[in-house]
């Protein structure tokens, strides 16, 4: 069964304190891995897509990496405005999967000034 | 104007009511999705439409009925819901397999 597990469930950082969020996945075949940011009461906002092991993507203070079993979202020198829930999702290969996303439960990040 | 627009943003309905959620996308995508987000649980796929055709129904109870009249519009018709159906309902669209999905702001549904 395709599955995504994120850790930790919650992370509290001081402003400027770098850290990483983990996304472990089990999937029959990986079509793509996606990172989203979600603010309270809003829909998820797309951040990155990763397709193959070794691939990396960066955007401002965020950097996403991918291996054959997991992905990391590295946050460098975070600011309070980076506080949000970060969601990881995978798409599996297969004739009838379409664009279906399988989500993890998310990591709630809080950055204190 | 956001790429994916959902209305209403908030909805309170009784268990005997009938209501509909609406989603419209302005991104030129051919695939549209309904997801359900309950507290402390992962987003859960409900329905997938590709080029207006339903390609996946993720074992959703019949009290939820989707409708996709064209590639830009998606509806979720609700009737005789249960309190446990209270959740954030999210609409998304994409170019299909292998591409990122873009989400609307969601409809916060409360069943009383």
Query: Which chain A residues are within 8 Å of B110, Cβ to Cβ?
Result: none
CB nearest B55 (choices: A32, A42, A98):
A98
Report the percentage of chain B scoring pLDDT > 90: 81
Higher pLDDT, A14 or B1: A14
DSSP state of A72: E
Report the percentage of chain A scoring pLDDT > 70: 96
- Give residue B52's pLDDT: 78
Strands A10-14 and A107-112, sheet pairing: parallel
Where does the pLDDT of residue B50 fall: very low under 50, low under 70, confident under 90, or very high at 90 and above?
A: confident
What is d(CA B46, CA B55) in angstroms, rounded to the nearest whole number? 11
Strands B107-111 and B10-13, sheet pairing: parallel
- Give residue A31's pLDDT: 93
Instruction: State yes or no: pLDDT of A13 exceeds 80.
Output: yes
Does any CB of chain B come closer than 8 Å to the CB of residue A21? Answer: no
The residues near A85 (Cβ < 8 Å, ≥ 6 apart) are A37, A38, A39, A40, A106, A107, A108, A109
Q: Could you report the per-residue pLDDT of B21-30, keeping only the tens digit for each?
A: 999 999 999 9
Question: Helices in chain B by DSSP H: which ranges?
Answer: none
Report the percentage of chain A scoring pLDDT > 90: 87
What is d(CA A44, CA A100) in angstroms, rounded to the nearest whole number? 15
- Asked if A96's CB is within 8 angstroms of B97's CB, the reply is no
Q: Could you report the per-residue pLDDT of A29-69, keeping only the tens digit for each?
A: 999 999 999 999 999 999 999 999 999 999 999 999 999 99
Give the three-state DSSP class for A82.
helix
CB nearest A99 (choices: B4, B99, B103):
B99
CA distance A58 to chain B (A): 16
């Amino acid at each position: 069964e395709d599955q995504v597990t994120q850790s930790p469930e919650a992370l509290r950082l001081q402003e400027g304190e770098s850290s990483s969020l983990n996304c472990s996945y089990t999937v029959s075949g990986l079509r793509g891995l996606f990172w989203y940011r979600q603010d309270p009461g809003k829909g998820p906002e797309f951040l990155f897509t990763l397709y193959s092991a070794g691939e990396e993507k960066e955007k401002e203070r965020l950097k996403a990496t991918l291996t054959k079993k997991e992905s990391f979202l590295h946050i460098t020198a975070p600011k309070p405005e980076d506080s949000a829930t970060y969601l990881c999702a995978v798409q599996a290969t297969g004739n009838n999967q379409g664009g279906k996303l399988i989500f993890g439960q998310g990591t709630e990040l809080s950055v204190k000034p | 104007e956001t790429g994916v627009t959902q209305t209403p943003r908030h909805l309170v309905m009784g268990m005997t009511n009938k209501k509909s959620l609406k989603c419209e996308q302005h991104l030129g995508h051919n695939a549209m999705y309904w997801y359900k987000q309950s507290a402390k649980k992962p987003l859960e796929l409900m329905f997938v439409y590709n080029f207006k055709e339903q390609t996946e129904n993720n074992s959703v109870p019949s009290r939820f009925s989707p409708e996709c009249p064209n590639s830009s519009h998606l509806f979720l018709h609700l009737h005789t819901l249960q309190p446990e159906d209270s959740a954030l309902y999210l609409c998304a669209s994409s170019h299909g397999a292998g591409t990122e999905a873009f989400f609307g702001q969601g409809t916060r549904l409360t069943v009383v």
